[in-house]
Structure 1
Amino acid sequence: MALNRRDLILGTGGLALGAAILPGSAREASAAAPFRNDVPPAWYRFRFGENEATIVSDGRLPLGKPEPAFPAAPPQEINALLRGNFLPPDAATLEQNVLVLNTGRQLVLFDTGMGESMGADSKMFGPTTGRMLSNLRAAGISPEQIDLVVLSHAHSDHCWALVDAEGRRNFPNAQVAVSEADLRYWTDDGNKRGPAFMTSFIEGAKKNLSAYRDRMVMVRDGAEVTPGVTAIAAPGHTVGHTCYAINSGGRTMVYTGDLAHHHVLLLQRPMWEFSFDTDPKQSAQTRSRLLARLADERHAVLSYHFPWPGLGHVVRAGEGYAWLAEPMDLTPPG
C-alpha cells in the first residue's frame, strides 16, 4: 500500500516519527559529549609585502582587577569604558601575540613570551601563558630555524623564553637584538628596588639575556636591525622600549610591543598610566605621540597585547583613539 503525505503526518508514519521524539522514550536520541577543556594550537599566517608573517600565541595574560594596573585612572571611568565595550569590568585580560617574520633570507622572531625559564615565577600571571614554543612548532617552525630574536624590551613576558629552565638557549642559532639601555638596566642588580616584581624581572632578564651575550645586536633608534626592519625608540614603559617598522613591497607594518597594553583603556585614554611602566609619565607621552603618528600615517599595526591576533589599525576617535581589528584571512598565503 502506498502512503501519501497525509498518511505520513496522521497515520502510522506520523506515529513512528512522534514516538522517536517522545521525552523519556527508550528510543530518545542522545548526542551529549564531555567538555574537552583543552586549547587548540594558536597561530595565524599571512603575507605582508614580499614577506610571510606568522603570529603565534604565548597564551592569554590575565591582569585581574584592572584598577591596580591603572592606578591613576578613576575606577568608575575604567568600569564605564570596559562595560561600554562589552568587556568584563572586574577582569582585564591581555593577549600575547608573537610575530615570526620570514623575509626569504631570515626567520625573525619578535619577542618570546613568558616561557618556563624561571620556574614558578614563569606563572606569575597564571597558567595560561608560556605556550609560544609549542604553538611555534604547531605552525611548522622549529626554534632552531630562528636566525634573529628582536626584543621590544626585556620584561618577563617578552624575553623569558630565550632559555629553558636549565638555562639552555631555546634558539641555538639565533642572535638577539635589544636596546643597550634595556640590556644594561634589566641586568643591573642595583635596580632591584621599588615594586615587588623588580627582583624577579631582573633575575629573569639576567638568566635569559646572559645566555646570548656573545651574539647580541644593539638596537639603535632609526637604524635597521635587519634589512626591512627599522627600530623606533619608544621609551617609558622601559628605558629602552622599542617599536619596529617592518617595510616590504611598499607597505609598512609597525610592531608596537608594549606601546599600549589595552586596546580600549590605553587607546581611548592614552595619557593614563600603567603600573608596570618604568616611567609612567614618559610612557604616556610616548604613547600619545606614536599613536598620533600611527593614525595619521595609516600604517598597519601589530600589537603584542591586543586581542588575538593583534592585527589592525589605530584611528582617531574623540580625544583619543580606537582600535580597528583587521579581519583574519584564512585563505592560505600564496
Structure 2
Amino acid sequence: MTYPVSRRSLFALTAGLGATTLFSGNALAREPKLGTQSPYFHRFMLGDAEVTVVSDGPLPLGNPKGTFTGASDDEIKKMLTDNFLNPDNIVLEQNSPVVNTGDKLVLFDTGMGTARTFGPTTGRQQKSMAEAGIKPEDIDAVVFTHAHIDHIGGVVDGSGKVLFPNAQYYIAQSDFDYWTDEGRMSGPLKEFVVHARKNLLPVRDRLVFYRDGQEFLPGIQALAAPGHTVGHHIFMISSGDKSFAFLGDLTHHQILLMERPRMEFSYDTDPKQAAESRVRMLDMLAANKIMVMSYHYPWPGLGHVVKSGEGFHYLPQPMQMLL
C-alpha cells in the first residue's frame, strides 16, 4: 500500500519534527559545524596495478556563452538545467590518475600549479597527493596529455623548483614545440605560453617524446586525438586483463560535449578537428565498452561511454570504497 504525501503535509511534518527534535536543545544541535570535507583522492585496482585519482581542485569556466558554440544559448541552458547543473557557471574538475604498476609510479598531468587564471580553487594537486600518501619524489614518470596551462602547471613551484625531481617526463613533441614557442608570446595565447615555458623548459633534458600508437611505458599506449591542441593524446592504460582510457581533454563536459559532440569549444586550437577526434574516439570507446576517465568530468571522473542518438551518454561508475 502507498501513502500519497502532499508537499504541504511534508512541510508540516518536517516543521513539527524541527520544533520537537532539531531545536530541542539536545547535544547534537549544539555541536559546532566542522566546515571540512573528505580528502580529495580516490583509489581503485586495475588488474595488478593500483590507481589513485588525485584532484587539482575545481576549475570554474563561468558562463558557457561563447565558450561552447554550435548550439543556441537557450539550448545550452536547457541541457544544463535538465541535468540540474548551474546554467550560468560551468565548473570542471581536474582528475589526475597516479598509476602504481609495482615497478613504476606514473602521474598523468599536473594541474594548474601556482597559476590562478581560473580562480583560487585550483592548484591543489600536491595537497591531494599528500592526503593519498604519495610523495612527489617517488614519482617515476609524469605523462602529459597536452601542454595547456591546467595540465602542465604543477611541474614547478612558485620559485621554479621542480616538484618531481626523480621523474622522466613524456609529451608529444608537436605540443612541446607549439606551446614553448617564444614567438607566440605576443599573441592571445601569451599566458599559456609563459606558463608552458615556466614548467616545461626546466625539465627539457628529461623530456621523452611519445608517438601515436606507441606503448612508451609498460601498459601505457598513446593515441593521437588532435584538435584541442596540435599534439593532444589520450592514453590506454592496462594491467592484466583490465584497462581504461584516460581522455585528457577529449571532451570537457559530461553533458554538452557528449550529447552534442560536434559542438565547438573555444579553448580548442582547431575546434573542427577536435570535434572529429572526439566523435572518432568516443565511437571506439563506446563500441568496445572501455572504461574511461576524464580529466574534467565530475569527481573522480570514472565511467563508461554509450551511444545515444547522434551523440553519446556518460554513465558514471559507482565509487568502490573497498579495494
TM-score by structure 1 length?
0.87
What are structure 2's unaligned runs of at least 5 residues?
1-19
2: CA distance between counterparts of 1:110 and 1:287? 20
Q: What is the Cα deviation at residue 214 of structure 1?
A: 1.0
Q: What is the Cα deviation at residue 225 of structure 1?
A: 1.9
Match of 1:212, SS? helix
Q: Which residue of the partner structure matches residue 201 of structure 2?
A: 210
Residues 193-208 of structure 1: pairs in structure 2 closer than 5 A: 195=188, 198-208=189-199
Q: Which residue of the partner structure matches residue 130 of structure 2?
A: 137
Does residue 187 of structure 2 align to residue 189 of structure 1? no
Residues 219-238 of structure 1: pairs in structure 2 closer than 5 A: 219-238=210-229
Q: What is the Cα deviation at residue 38 of structure 1?
A: 3.7
Does residue 242 of structure 2 align to residue 245 of structure 1? no
1: CA distance between counterparts of 2:21 and 2:270? 68
Percent of aligned positions with the same letter in both sequences?
50
Residue 164 of structure 2 aligns with an amino acid whose one-letter code is F
Contact 1:73 1:273 in 2 (8 A): no
1:226-254: CA deviation from partner (whole Å, max 9, x where unpaired): 01100000100000001000121122210
Query: How many residues are treated as equivalent by the alignment?
Result: 304
2:89 to 80, 88, 91: 91
> 1:39/1:157 Cα in 2 relative to 1: closer, same or farther (>3 Å)?
farther
Does residue 152 of structure 2 align to residue 159 of structure 1? yes
Residues 162-173 of structure 1: pairs in structure 2 closer than 5 A: 162-173=155-166
Contact 1:66 1:90 in 2 (8 A): yes
What are structure 1's unaligned runs of at least 5 residues?
1-20, 117-121
> 1:22/1:44 Cα in 2 relative to 1: closer, same or farther (>3 Å)?
closer
1:114-151: CA deviation from partner (whole Å, max 9, x where unpaired): 111xxxxx111111111100110110100000000000
Residue 102 of structure 1 aligns with an amino acid whose one-letter code is N
Q: Which residue of the partner structure matches residue 3 of structure 1?
A: none
Residue 50 of structure 2 aligns with an amino acid whose one-letter code is E
1: CA distance between counterparts of 2:25 and 2:197? 63
Decide which structure has the larger Cα Rg and report it: 1
Q: Which residue of the partner structure matches residue 71 of structure 2?
A: 73
Q: What is the Cα deviation at residue 33 of structure 1?
A: 4.2
1:175-207: CA deviation from partner (whole Å, max 9, x where unpaired): 110000000000002223654xx1011011001
1: CA distance between counterparts of 2:22 and 2:221? 67
Q: Which residue of the partner structure matches residue 257 of structure 1?
A: 248
Residue 29 of structure 1 aligns with an amino acid whose one-letter code is N
2: CA distance between counterparts of 1:235 and 1:136? 29
1:78-98: CA deviation from partner (whole Å, max 9, x where unpaired): 011011111111111100001
Does residue 258 of structure 2 align to residue 267 of structure 1? yes
**Which stretches of structure 1, 4 residues or longer, exceed 3 Å deviation after superposition?**
21-24, 27-30, 32-40, 192-195
Q: What is the Cα deviation at residue 298 of structure 1?
A: 0.7
Match of 1:88, SS? coil
Q: What is the Cα deviation at residue 71 of structure 1?
A: 3.4
Q: Which residue of the partner structure matches residue 29 of structure 1?
A: 26
Q: Which residue of the partner structure matches residue 171 of structure 2?
A: 178
